[in-house]
């Protein structure tokens, strides 16, 4: 079934993408949650008109995202975590802590939902990497230096 996404859906697509998914996934999850609408002929025409009007704004947003990505690429963020003698962290480092550390150390505000930790979770002291999806075409990579408190 073809659907039009009304918001970004992880591992599926971005807002206003037309994607093909299984009927059950669309009818039982995406459409009732408001994440998508059926891709009828009328909906596709409306989407085309909306995209045409939004093209100018999108270019400006992309340029702003590229400017932030230039600041972020290669940046090192230090994060303190409680850890045992073996170097294992009590709990884990998550995207909220990374976003707070970015704001505090480098005065760069990033939405926590856009931060993807490479390897899923950080449970040990050391150097790790995280990717930040600022825009559908603009991504940045930062280095995380996790140390014991």
pLDDT digits (tens, 9 = 90+) for 49-104: 988 888 888 888 889 999 989 988 888 999 998 988 888 888 888 899 999 999 99
What 112-119 contacts at long range (C-beta under 8 Å, 24+ apart), as own/partner pairs, is: 117/93, 117/144
Reported pTM = 0.64
pLDDT of 59 = 86
Query: Which residues have CB under 8 Å from 148's CB, separation 6+?
Result: 80, 81, 82, 83, 87, 125
Domains of the chain: 2-61 (3.40.5.10), 69-148 (3.10.430.100)
CA–CA gap between residue 147 and residue 149 (Å, rounded): 7
How many contiguous H segments (helices) and E segments (strands) does the chain have? 3, 9
CA triplet 112, 113, 115: central angle to 5 degrees? 70
């Amino acid at each position: 079934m073809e659907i039009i996404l009304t918001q970004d859906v992880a591992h599926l697509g971005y807002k206003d993408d037309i994607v093909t998914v299984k009927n059950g996934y669309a009818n039982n999850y995406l459409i009732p949650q408001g994440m998508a609408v059926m891709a009828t002929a009328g909906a596709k025409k409306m989407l085309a008109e909306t995209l045409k009007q939004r093209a100018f704004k999108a270019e400006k947003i992309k340029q702003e995202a590229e400017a932030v990505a230039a600041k972020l690429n290669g940046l090192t963020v230090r994060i303190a975590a409680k850890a045992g003698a073996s170097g294992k962290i009590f709990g884990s480092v998550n995207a909220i802590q990374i976003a707070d550390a970015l704001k505090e150390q480098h005065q760069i505000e990033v939405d926590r939902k856009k931060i993807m930790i490479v390897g899923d979770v950080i449970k040990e002291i050391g150097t790790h990497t995280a990717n930040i999806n600022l825009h559908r075409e603009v991504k940045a990579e930062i280095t995380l230096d996790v140390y014991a408190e």
